[in-house]
């Protein structure tokens, strides 16, 4: 059994310091790893990244993250990655990491992702250079996610993105902005690998649960959606045991 804690869109700045920490300190009793689905910061500054590292770093469980669109706002994503990495946080962008937990191998493949929309209402790689660049970016990122997912041999495989891979978990958002919230190409990448669970954020007004066309469970863990410090998901269950250890 592996337990995964997950949250996204925590938008940390100095005013958030201390808000998550009490719940995060309880993590070792509740989960084996913490995944954060992007939008770690507000404006994507190095100072905010340091705040995130202070709030979410130094935990007794591994922390694995992807960046989100907010983390790109100040064009400091490389420095943000360095700050987080120096704090012991694993930042995934088109790569995978493998954790040995209770004798089982958990693989996590992550990308930020991008928009574009979903079947029947999506942007096409056609026309103006700007539009082809937009959809081309989506396609490249999705292909990199697929390569990352297929690069590891593990007992359980998790896809971690900021943008949504399915429209199911966007229900609650205005239909008109779905193409800015995710794309079907991410879902197709997830379905091309033996993925056990896909986690994303970004859609603050979306809903929690969905599935890819191939049947992979998808969870929107954006903080405004889950309304708690993190959710906990259990994979590779050996027995029915849904009670958390009381604290």
Q: How far is the CB of 188 from other proteins (least distance, A)?
A: 20
In the complex, what is the shortest distance from the CB of residue 167 to other proteins, in angstroms, rounded to a whole number? Answer: 18
Applying CB under 8 A, which of residues 57, 62, 179, 217 lies at the interface with other proteins? Answer: 217
DSSP assignment of the chain equals -EEEEEEB---B-GGGTTTSHHHHHTHHHH-SEEEEES--BSS--HHHHHHHHHHHSS-SS-EEEE--SGGGTTS-HHHHHHHHHHTT-EE-SSEEEEEEETTEEEEEEEE-----EETTEE--S-SSHHHHHHHHHHHHHHHHHHHHHHT---SEEEEEESSBSSSGGGBTB-GGGGGGTBBHHHHHHHHTTT-SEEEE---TTS-SEEE-TT--EEEE-BHHHH-SS-EEEEES-SS---PPPP-
CB of 25 to other proteins, least distance (A): 9
Min separation Cβ 124 and other proteins, Å: 25
Taking contact as CB under 8 A, which single stretch among the options 92-100, 104-112, 163-171, 217-225 is the one that binds other proteins?
Answer: 217-225
Answer yes or no whether residue 26 interacts with other proteins by CB under 8 A: yes
From 119-127, 141-149, 161-169, 233-241, give the range in contact with other proteins by CB under 8 A.
233-241
Number of neighbours of residue 230 by Cβ within 10 angstroms: 24
Q: Say whether residue 23 binds other proteins (CB under 8 A).
A: yes
Establish if 232 lies at the interface with other proteins (CB under 8 A): yes
For other proteins, the binding residue among 54, 72, 143, 205 (CB under 8 A) is 205
Residue from 197, 200, 201, 210 in contact with other proteins (CB under 8 A): 197
52, 119, 224, 238: residue in contact with other proteins (rule CB under 8 A)? 224
233 counts as binding other proteins under rule CB under 8 A: yes
Cβ neighbourhood burial of 124 (10 Å; 0-12, 13-18, 19+): exposed
Which residues bind to other proteins, rule: CB under 8 A?
A: 3, 10-12, 15-16, 19-20, 22-23, 26, 30, 42-43, 70, 73, 196-197, 204-205, 217, 219, 223-224, 227-235, 237, 240, 242, 244, 247
């Amino acid at each position: 059994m592996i337990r995964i804690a997950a949250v996204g869109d925590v938008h940390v700045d100095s005013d958030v310091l201390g808000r998550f920490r009490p719940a995060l300190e309880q993590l070792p009793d509740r989960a084996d790893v913490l995944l954060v689905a992007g939008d770690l910061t507000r404006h994507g500054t190095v100072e905010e990244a340091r705040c995130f590292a202070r709030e979410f770093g130094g935990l007794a469980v591994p922390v694995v993250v992807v960046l989100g669109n907010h983390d790109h706002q100040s064009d400091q994503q490389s420095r943000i990655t360095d700050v987080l990495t120096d704090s012991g946080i694993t930042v995934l962008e088109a790569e995978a990491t493998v954790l040995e937990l209770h004798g089982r191998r958990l693989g996590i493949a992550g990308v930020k992702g991008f928009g574009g929309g979903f079947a029947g209402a999506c942007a096409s790689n056609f026309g103006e250079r700007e539009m082809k660049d937009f959809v081309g970016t989506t396609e490249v990122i999705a292909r990199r996610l697929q390569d990352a997912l297929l690069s590891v041999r593990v007992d359980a495989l998790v896809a971690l993105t900021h943008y949504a891979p399915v429209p199911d978990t966007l229900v609650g958002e205005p239909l008109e902005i779905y193409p800015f919230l995710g794309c079907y190409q991410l879902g197709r990448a997830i379905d091309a690998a033996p993925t056990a669970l896909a986690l994303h954020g970004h859609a603050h007004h979306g809903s929690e649960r969905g599935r890819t066309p191939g049947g992979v469970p998808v969870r929107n863990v954006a903080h405004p959606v889950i309304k708690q410090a993190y959710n906990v998901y259990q994979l590779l269950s050996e027995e029915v045991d849904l009670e958390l250890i009381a604290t």
